[in-house]
Structure 1
Amino acid sequence: MQASFPPEIENWFSDRGWRVRSHQADMFTASLAGHHTMLVADTGAGKTLAGFLPTLAEFCPSQFGDDGPPEGLHTLYVSPLKALAHDVQRNLMIPAEEMGLPVRIETRSGDTPSDRKKRQRSKPPHILLTTPESLSLLLSYPDSFELFAGLKRIVIDEVHAFATGKRGDLLALCLSRLQALSPGLQRAALSATVARPEEFRAWLAPWGDVGAVDLVIGEEGAPPEVEILLPEGERVPWGGHAAIWAIPQIYDLIRANQTALIFTNTRFLAEYIFQHLWDVNEDKLPIGIHHGSLSKEARRKVEGAMARGELRALVATASLDLGVDWGDVDLVVQMGAPKGSSRLLQRIGRANHRLDQPSRAVLVPGNRFEFLEATAAKEAVDQGQRDGEDFLPGGLDVLAQHIMGCACAAPFDEAGLLAEVRSSPTYNWIDETIWQRVLNFVATGGYSLTAYDRFKRITRDADGMWRLSHPEQAARHRLNAGIIIDSQMYDVRFRNGRSLGRVEERFAASLSPGDTFAFAGVSLEVERIKDGEVSVRASKKSAMIPSYGGARMPLTTHLADRVREMLDDRAGWGRFPDDVREWLEMQDYRSMMPGPGQLLVESFPHANREYSVFYTFEGWNANQSLGMLITRRMETMGLQPGGFVANDYSLAVWGLKRVEHPAPLLSPDILGDEFAAWVESSHLLRRAFREVAVIGGLVERQQPGQRKSGRQVSFSTDLIYDVLRKYEPDHILLDAAWADARAKMTDIGRLGALLDRAEEQLVHVRLDRVSPMAVPVMVVIGRESLPQGAVDDELLLEAESLADAAMRADPPAVSEDD
């Protein structure tokens, strides 16, 4: 039976002609019963309000009467994005003010001024909107025990976006600590795109008790309207990712709609697409840009303009694809392939952010494989199918950071803290041995580093309590704590000191005074580069484009499987554009299509080299790793490899000698000693170690009044890495680095599945020339290290030459072996 809302809330809904949604009422009823809750509801269903209704009810004058409203911090709201927290603050304050509720609502993030942060600890608001990192830092203060003692509720928004990663690990540990400080704390999680709700219920529940979490399913909304944009009178491109061919059509869409939100998958593409839109903006329409490297001031300015309805279009990255509610957005444009149905559904939901109205979206594929991927994603969205990442065991580097944060707050008993840590399902696998290794690392840095005082961060007293080795360790921890390890960045500033944002250090290092580059929608000329800062002035010269690394989105397994099914469904090709259908038909005629479960490998000569193309559909990370392993094995076998190039769908390897039998190159034992040797000799493990060393607190990025450059951090971590590899190969951080390298940087799980498939169902086809399906990956050869947009025109020319050879309809010269 559903509980009744206070009259203030009922009247507020009634005055607007709204009704309380069933899932909003269910969340309220579950809260009154003292239950934790997991809400899965469509975008525009009022999820955030559903999460906050129990809190708002307690601040209704009809409920607290003469006793007055609750005092102290009542509710925490945690989101993955700063922008989302600020948006929620705006949208939550409106109903609170209109209901006349005496509730104070504030945000806290890395952008919050230090004086306000200090005041929030001594005089907290009733509702605090924050991020996992800021919450972890709050818990590191001695006054956290008093601050959170009366906490009643925590609301975790867009839980799918970070629960499966290291930010989720950190939040899971924070939840365990909060539950210990306030045993009656209620947990609520919200999402529109959870594929496996039971797994998230287990993640949310104390001790993994799924039964303690009520699953609430939201009312269904209007199905989204999604279409795929095609070139007018032209063919779908063979290669490239920027989809610049679509700029005139996208501009027409902007003019025809009130506000368009244009999503790209990388910061580079955001800048590149924005520049091209601005070049054709003959009507001088207000068009903005938003991504994570822009300054706080630039982001806030754009967010404010969108909230006021002053922009006709905004080009953005994932910095805005979660939950931000702008009612005037009536169209979403996805540039390039969406990489996952859940991600696409999330982005589509930014348009017509109302449950009873369909969201409209246009997908713009950059090439023919991206057209297939866009079609697969559209059909998955139409069928309501979602995808997502798997949960992994909690990271040991994150655990080390949490232990240090707890020591900053107060001395701790190791048995008590271990029990608290293990109450989180993310860390219930930690046994006494692993716990002691992590604890020893935080205390001494590990056996090889014991002699160095700077690694001695905590010490055990005679009474058995662990405490900071020196009070200054608390300040050092708070300066360096965090999970997001961005590439080292340089500030970009005008001469007058005005900040435009940041670019990667490696890009800044390639610049010289007089060089130009486009950033924040402006062409800039470099005046000076010094002390982590690029001083610039506005310029009318043509500009280079900054190339951002580490932003490649993985193709989900679900979407990859759908693309494979589409290739095998010949009867379904009739729904594709003529040129795409002819491409697939010619592939089927000249070579073959990979069947269900098969791994197709094609070998052919081209430009005096021998090529082999492996159609894996396992994503760029797995293909990149496989390319490294295959070329190493080809070298051992005397096949004289020249190199390789990968995309999400295939891998092309070339050399001077022909690959007669690819099966030996793909035997599962390649993931044994050869994999280990490659990872250790490459920069993968060093890069992974750098990240875990920073997260675990072994290497500091900042010191009071000074921030280390990326080069300094790399030098420090490389030095320690070499020492540990030589003298302590079983160090806890080397284990953590290996876990990261296996799980994330190489996609080891998908690699293993691919090799198992190859062992059983590999089909090798030998051709006399390039095949139609090989053209998209072949056109990238020699271009992968260049700025993407700068070579798009060249890619098209190269593609036409290859396509002419691939699409000739003369009888195929094919031989096949298994």
Structure 2
Amino acid sequence: MKNEFAEVWFYNQGWQAHQFQKDCWEAIAQGKSGILNAPTGYGKTFAIWFGVLQHFYSHNQDTLTSKSKKRKGPHTLWITPLRALSKEIHKATNQVSLDLDLEYQIELRTGDTNTAERQKQRKAPPHALITTPESVHLILATKAGQEYFSNLEFIIVDEWHELMGSKRGVLIELAISRIKTINPNLKIWGISATIGNLELAKEILLGQSNQGVLIQANINKEIQIQTVFPDSLEKFPWAGHLGIRLLDKVVDIIHQYRTTLIFTNTRSQAEIWYQQIISQYPEFAGLLAIHHGSLSDEVRMWVEEAIHEGKLKAVVCTSSLDLGVDFRPVDCVIQVGSPKGIARFLQRAGRSGHRPDATSIIYYVPTNSLEIIEGDSLKYAVENHIVESRIPYVRSFDVLIQYLMTLAVGDGFYADEVLQEIAQTHCFASISQEEFDQCMALLIHGGTSLQAYDDFHRLELVDGKYKVTNRRIAMRHRLSIGAIVSDLMMRVKFLSGKYLGSIEESFIAKLNLGDVFWFSGRQLELVQIIANDAIVKASEKKKGVVPSWMGGRFAISPDLGVAIRHSFNSIHKSKGISEEIAYLKPLFQEQKRLSALPKEDELLIEYIQTKYGNHIFFYPFDGKLVHEGMAQVIAYRLGKIKPATFSIASNEYGFELLSDTDYELDEDLLHELFNPAKLHQDINSGINVQELARRRFRDIAGIAGLVFQGFPGKQMKSKHLQANASLFFSVFSDYEPNNLLLREAYDEVFDFQLEEGRMQQAFNRIATHKIIFSKTNKLTPFSFPIFAESFREKYSNEDWQSRLEKVKMQLLNE
């Protein structure tokens, strides 16, 4: 079937349509739903958009010719995870309407849309509304909000892989479950990057009963990965030490290309790299920018526009530029440090050569010598098409409670009808009547524990429908819609009132007035704190601290762990090895001389006695988060053999247990320590799971509306939020131990914080491995980076770097 709009527009552009675009147009014309998977830069937006246009003009001729017919709501809802991406989609689709002189109107509705514009969109809806998950729920929380979607034909969810692995994905599942009831003819399309579970992604988005199509672009985009090597190899590396030492080489790369994106894993790292480049290469002033999620919208929009227009030579950024915003001038990407995941690395690589047939060029800059091996691992993963799956949230009762409030604040809902709808979603497929009743009880009268408090009598039954009749409760709920949680953010402002961005309160709380810190690429002095505003002025002082953000902590993915362990097979070969393995040979030879070199199916454990105590080092290569939990379980099991107090340190490759107690270890005992049996029981016994759950509960309580986070500009302080949430946690623990939200807090600790599933897999795998036990009299190249982590903690208030250098020089001299 021809798509006339696409043919004309593509012809005028001088383009040829890809087969996957034609397949999408055909599927949409047949009334199908589905998922589109295609590389960045190949026209994914147009693959869906022209299908939507063709459908509209094929089915709505009478609406177009009759001026008297007024639309109740939009024809298409395009949902994106980022406001910047929404603007990008709006710009691209609007251009099509302009070029083809179409009446099809497209408008934006995000957190930036003012009240007057929103009201106009309600009274005179556009044909297409480009929006975010939170804004869809805000519409449902208004009177006649459900009627607004009664004529909706399409929901398109952009970057579905990104949303699916978060509670925002649950928001989308729930919104779609309601809109499908309002309009059973709804067609749902997702646009997704490559993930390991695309079929599941399709099933979650489309729902259990919808047999949609999966359209994959048969395009192998060439990716060129180049590892940046230091001039000399450090045999005793430590994390973060090497990155900035490669600054000159990074700048040489920047000079070779028109525009370069420099990706770092954390906002702190982005600030450091920006500061270092500008201070050592002042000629970059005006040509270098910084972009991360804590900067103001104004700053980020300026940077994005400047990249578009080719005005910038380089941008230091974080995952804030990961997603599909189209930057055609970018022809090079630099990844500083381990990308932690293969999919993330591929996504970032795809930002360069953002055109069909262009090669994506990505340079990998390791931050310590051992990290160089990941250059080999990433190449192996890309060649073998290894890519992570996204793990969806299930049984997120905090989001369900918020959603029920959203419906009640809007038009109200019938309980039985909503239960049937949500039971069709992936997230709540296993919900029981009893669990749903418990959610309802919490909203109607506060449940078992909170009945005495009027604030928790939120729903009333009016003519068979549950509604919110209290205006104050309704307003508070609308202000709290969403599932993005983080530490309380404080606004950073100049004395003039100019807004720069936001920083977590926990960081500002550690500063004294007059202290200097780096933010937004500027050296700032803290002048005063007024409510939630940190007032600053520019400073000429040369020394300042770099903010740390709690959100920047994530570990290597299971699939990257597999690829890293595979690389260890190559370190025993002498021929047919990568340049990374060849470069690291001296380090591996030193490791073998002092201790041993493990293979892919072996676990190395080292026992070293120093003046600091008895060190046991383990190298499972499973990522820092898994290692932290694993270390606590092993410490607990060792403590049962002989009581001891352990200090724990870990990195992505292994972990250390340090104590004053001397253990008699052998391979049989070590195998028993990694016995997968009773792992869950030992996690409960060896880790303070209750305290972890208490902290997790703060976010759950916020999403479920138990804790009000404050009005705009007057947010509650994080210590008060934590205290309030902690009070609920204690009440539920003491009087209602089966409370759904309490259970959810524990489940999330096990699933996402301790990653129990991954830990169980690691223990199962290690149970089949050969254990190499090595007693050595000094630190090894593998153990030194982990030792450095604990050293940093121990001497945090002293010059720990120079102390560590002395230890390293001592090892080298020996």
Q: TM-score range by the shorter chain?
A: over 0.9
Please show how residues 428-507 of structure 1 align to structure 2 within 5 Å: 428-461=429-462, 464-468=464-468, 470-507=470-507
In structure 2, give the amino acid aligned to 1:23: F
**Is 1:339–1:373's contact at 8 Å kept on the other side of the alignment?**
no
- Structure 1 residue 718 corresponds to structure 2 residue 726: yes
- For residue 165 of structure 1, what is the amino acid of its counterpart? S
Amino acid at match of 2:780: S
Deviation digits for residues 555-614 of structure 1, max 9, x if unmatched?
111110111111123225563365511222332343333344443321111234110111
Residue-by-residue CA offset, 1:42-66 (whole Å, 9 max, x unaligned): 1222111112112233566998486
Match of 1:582 among 572, 586, 590: 586
Among the aligned pairs, what percent are the same residue?
Answer: 30
Cα deviation for residue 781 of structure 1 reads 1.5
| Aligned positions of 1:615-626 closer than 5 A | 615-626=619-630
Whether contact under 8 Å (1:237, 1:796) holds in the other structure is no
Cα distance, 1:236–1:278 mapped onto 2, change above 3 Å: farther
- For these two proteins, the number of residue pairs brought into alignment is 799
User: Given residue 467 of structure 1, which amino acid in structure 2 is its aligned partner?
Assistant: K
SS of residue matched to 1:448: coil
User: 2:97 matched to 1:93?
Assistant: no
1: CA distance between counterparts of 2:450 and 2:687?
Answer: 24
User: What is the CA-CA distance between 1:637 and the residue it aligns to?
Assistant: 4.5
Alignment-derived partner of residue 215 in structure 1: 214
> Could you say which residue in structure 2 is the equivalent of 1:309?
310
1:9 aligns with 2:6: yes
Aligned counterparts of 2:794 and 2:713: Cα–Cα separation in 1: 36
Q: How do 1:78-117 residues align onto structure 2 when only pairs under 5 Å count?
A: 78-117=79-118
Cα separation, partners in 2 of 1:784 and 1:191, compared to 1, 3 Å? farther
Give the deviation of 1:785 after TM superposition.
Answer: 8.5
CA drift at 1:464: 4.1
1:225-624 to structure 2, matched below 5 A, reads 225-233=224-232, 235=234, 238-241=237-240, 243-285=243-285, 286-461=287-462, 464-468=464-468, 470-541=470-541, 542-569=543-570, 570-571=572-573, 573=577, 575-576=579-580, 578-624=582-628
Structure-2 change in CA distance of 1:509 and 1:328 (3 Å) = same
The 10-residue stretch of structure 1 (346-355 or 91-100) with the greater mean CA deviation from structure 2: 91-100
CA distance in structure 2 between the aligned counterparts of 1:160 and 1:786, rounded to whole angstroms: 42
Pairing 1:41–2:45 present: no
2:699 corresponds to which letter in structure 1? E
Counterpart of 1:621, as a letter, is L
Q: Comparing 222-231 with 342-351, which one deviates more in the overlay?
A: 222-231
Residue pair 1:236, 1:367 contacting (<8 A) in 2 also: no
Q: Take 1:449 and 1:588, find their aligned partners in 2: how far apart are those partners?
A: 62
Residue matched to 2:223: 224
Q: What is the rounded CA distance, in whole Å, between the counterparts of 1:785 and 1:144 in structure 2? A: 57
Q: Does 1:783 align with 2:781?
A: no
Following the alignment from structure 1 to structure 2, what is the Cα–Cα distance between the partners of residues 539 and 48?
Answer: 45
**How far apart are 1:769 and its partner, in Å?**
2.1
Residues 608 and 779 in structure 2, CA contact (< 8 A), matched pair in contact too: yes
Structure 2 distance, partners of 1:200, 1:49, is 21
What TM-score, normalized by structure 1, do the two folds share? Answer: 0.93
Q: 1:611-760 maps to which residues of 2 (within 5 A)?
A: 611-635=615-639, 637-661=641-665, 662-663=670-671, 665-668=673-676, 671-677=679-685, 679-680=687-688, 683-703=691-711, 706-760=714-768
Q: What is aligned with 2:777? A: 768
Indicate if the aligned counterparts of 1:267 and 1:548 stay in contact, CA closer than 8 A: yes
Q: CA deviation at 1:784?
A: 4.7
Does structure 2 retain, via aligned residues, the 8 Å contact 1:239–1:799? no
Match of 1:815 in 2: none
Which residue in 1 is equivalent to 2:65? Answer: 67
In the aligned structure 1, how far is the partner of 2:294 from the partner of 2:235?
32
In 2, Cα distance between the equivalents of 1:343 and 1:496? Answer: 39
Change (3 A) 1:28 1:681: closer
The AA in structure 1 aligned to 2:431 is I
Structure 2 CA distance for partners of 1:235 and 1:417, relative to 1, 3 Å: same
- Check conservation: 2:526, 2:534, Cα contact below 8 A: yes
CA–CA separation in structure 2 for the residues paired with 1:422 and 1:120: 32
2:526/2:536 contact within 8 Å kept: yes
Contact 1:490 1:532 in 2 (8 A): yes
Q: Return 5+ residue gaps in structure 1 as ranges.
A: 809-818
Partner of 2:320, secondary structure, is helix
Question: Match for 1:707: what amino acid?
Answer: Q
Report the CA distance shift for 1:348/1:502 in structure 2 as closer, same or farther (over 3 A). same
Report the AA paired with residue 775 of structure 1. F
Corresponding residue SS for 1:184: coil
Return 5+ residue gaps in structure 2 as ranges: none
Deviations 1:430-480 (A, max 9, x none): 12122112222222332111111111211335x543222523322111111
Q: Secondary structure at the match of 2:616?
A: strand
Aligned residue number for residue 816 of structure 1: none
Post-superposition shift, 1:770?
A: 1.9
Secondary structure (helix, strand or coil) at the match of 1:576 reads helix
SS at the partner of 1:4?
coil
RMSD value over aligned CA atoms?
2.5
* Aligned-residue offset at 1:13: 0.8
Q: CA–CA distance in 2 between the matches of 1:785 and 1:510?
A: 19
Q: 1:31 offset after TM fit, Å?
A: 0.7
Q: Which moved more, 1:674-683 or 1:236-245?
A: 674-683
Taking a change above 3 Å as real, the CA distance of residues 385 and 704 of structure 1, as seen in their structure-2 partners, is: closer
Distance 2:736 2:403 in 1: 23
User: In the aligned structure 2, how far is the partner of 1:133 from the partner of 1:165?
Assistant: 13
Q: Specify the alignment match of 1:814 in structure 2.
A: none
Q: In terms of mean alpha carbon deviation, does 381-390 or 739-748 score higher?
A: 381-390
Classify 1:374/1:163 alpha carbon distance in 2 versus 1 (closer, same or farther; 3 Å): same
The answer (yes or no) to whether the contact 1:388–1:556 under 8 Å persists in 2 is no
SS of the equivalent of 1:86 reads helix
What SS does the aligned partner of 2:552 have? coil
Confirm or deny: 8 A CA contact 1:85 1:129 kept in the other structure. Answer: yes
Aligned-partner Cα distance in 1 for 2:195–2:662: 46
Give the Cα–Cα distance (whole angstroms) in 2 for the partners of residues 683 and 774 of structure 1: 30
Deviations along 1:229-285, whole A, 9 cap, x unmatched? 111355587112371112111112222211101111111111111111111224235
- Deviations 1:521-577, CA, capped at 9 Å, x for gaps: 100011112312211100010211111113222311111011111112322556336
Worse overlay, 707-716 or 299-308: 299-308
- Change beyond 3 A, Cα 1:768–1:540: same
On the 8 A contact 2:568/2:600 being kept in 1, the answer is no
